[in-house]
Amino acid sequence: MKSILITGAAGFLGSHLCDKFIKEGYRVIGMDNLITGDLKNIEHLFKLEQFEFYNHDVSKFVHVAGKLDYILHFASPASPIDYLKIPIQTLKVGSLGTHNLLGLAKEKNARILIASTSEVYGDPLVHPQTEDYYGNVNTIGPRGVYDEAKRFQESITMAYHRFHGVETRIVRIFNTYGPRMRLNDGRVIPAFIGQALRGEDLTVFGDGSQTRSFCYVDDQVDGIYKLLLSDYAEPVNIGNPHEISILDFAEEIIKLTGTKQKIVFKPLPKDDPMQRQPNIERAKSVLGWEPKVNREEGMRTTYNYFKSLTPEELQRSEHKDFSAHNKK
């Protein structure tokens, strides 16, 4: 049985990846310090013999006993609201955490895939974004803590690959959605759906002309799985190229949920990228991958998931308080 360590296992993407690798017959070792992750996302796995979980912060030394074939490094705050609240933790998990996991990969002779992001392109001047675009990032802006940690992460990963011969993979993840997103993480999809379900107005930031391209989680997981098992060490964009403005997307949510509420406009956060759309030609040719789930279908499933939450869970819309962790 192949063993895989998944960091950020209790998070949105991490928990879906745990499910995928359990389904594919792996022994899965989940790791998370539960700052932004939630054990509820992986509770169903604890009864399984091939699943283990460690509550650990990977920016501190990481050790796992026995053989390890693969590592997926998915631990990190990933929403602008979260990394504004825990900027130092965000920098540490992307830099120190990645260093520790690359060291573990070298020690265990394991292949490691690290979760990078479309944020490495910043507010892009090239559209759609291809992997050979170097990006337009404000290093000292509020998003810099995430963007630069992820850029450093890519650099150190390539250094371990070139200098130590570690087998590395880099996925650049574009906006991804689906069940288990945190309702209060500030991201646009849980924000809009939560607002519709609570009977509140939908908050569009700026004039809503900025664009995003949303990928359903099953497609994202499938792309990551294929990349891990490929022999390709350069970064690969995984996302859905179907682009929409945030204002049009708010209208879609109104139709989907049947809410009688209206759209209200709020200030655009600093350095909010104006447009984002992945060029996925590399994923198509190298991995034979492309997304299969269209937005209508994916959003219906996601909406049904949020509808099934308890009224208490639904009310938990205020952003999480991380103040205790900032002292660490």
Which residue, 157, 159, 188, is CA-closest to 175?
A: 188
| Structural contact between residues 28 and 225, judged by C-beta atoms closer than 8 angstroms | no
Taking the least distance from each CB to ligand UDP, the nearer of 74 and 225 is 74
Note whether 204 binds ligand UDP by CB under 6 A. Answer: yes
Task: Give the other-Cβ count within 10 Å of 235's Cβ.
Answer: 19
Taking the least distance from each CB to ligand UDP, the nearer of 145 and 204 is 204
What are the two backbone dihedrals, phi and then psi, of residue 118, each rounded to the nearest 5 degrees?
A: -65, -15
* Site track for ligand UDP across 78-117, x = CB under 6 A: -xx-------------------------------------
Which residue, 191, 211, 225, is CA-closest to 302?
A: 191
- Residues 159 and 231: their CA atoms lie apart, in Å, by 17
Note whether 265 binds ligand UDP by CB under 6 A. Answer: no
Note whether 167 binds ligand UDP by CB under 6 A. Answer: no
- Residue of 33, 157, 175, 184 that binds ligand UDP (CB under 6 A): 175
Catalytic residue ranges: 146
Least distance (Å) between residue 275 CB and ligand UDP: 10
Both tokens of 214, joined, read: 């949303």
Least distance (Å) between residue 9 CB and ligand UDP: 22
Taking the least distance from each CB to ligand UDP, the nearer of 59 and 79 is 79
Note whether 128 binds ligand UDP by CB under 6 A. Answer: no
Least distance (Å) between residue 120 CB and ligand UDP: 12
DSSP strand E in the chain: where? 3-7, 27-32, 51-55, 70-73, 111-117, 168-173, 176-177, 202-205, 211-213, 215-216, 235-238, 243-245, 263-266
| Structural contact between residues 237 and 283, judged by C-beta atoms closer than 8 angstroms | yes
Taking the least distance from each CB to ligand UDP, the nearer of 130 and 203 is 203
Query: What is the binding site for ligand UDP (CB under 6 A)?
Result: 79-80, 175, 186-188, 191, 203-205, 210, 212, 246, 269, 272
